[in-house]
Amino acid sequence: MMDSAPLTYEYVDFEIANEGWNLYEIEDGTRLRARVVLKTVIKFGDGRYLFGVEQITGIAFLPEKLRGPPSTQKYLPEELSKNIEIEDLEFKTLKENWNVYRLSDGLTVSIKCEVTQINRTRLFNELGEPIYTVNITSLFKVKTKTK
């Protein structure tokens, strides 16, 4: 039996150089904000990195005609999937942004969210806004130290 070497890694600190929101207009008139933020950076002993990110979305504008009965219920992802009213809504990108982070080891990491699909459910939040499900892919660019 072979012994496996322990996994060596370290957390890398970072600073925010730029963070902003992407803005999308959905075919139903709703405007949606989305972004991906960096939460954790781990560097492994072999030079690989692991980036922990969080995807954040929110309503920027909602036409009054789409409002429904307010609800304080919290829904599981399965419940949202079962209650999709309109699948794969058309949308256009109004504003795109790369969020940029400077790592303490000299790397610069840029992250952009790319919305791939938006669905509207028949469920509503505490303000009576319809709940959307949004599929997001995170795009990464990594630059090594510069002069």
36 burial type by CB count under 10 A (0-12 exposed, 13-18 middle, 19+ buried) = buried
pLDDT digits (tens, 9 = 90+) for 1-51: 555 667 899 999 999 999 999 999 999 999 999 999 999 999 998 889 999
pLDDT digits (tens, 9 = 90+) for 54-98: 999 999 999 999 999 999 999 999 999 999 999 999 999 999 999
**Euclidean distance between CA atoms 26 and 120, whole angstroms:** 10
Instruction: Give the predicted TM-score (pTM) of the model.
Output: 0.87
pLDDT value of position 95: 97
**Euclidean distance between CA atoms 38 and 111, whole angstroms:** 8
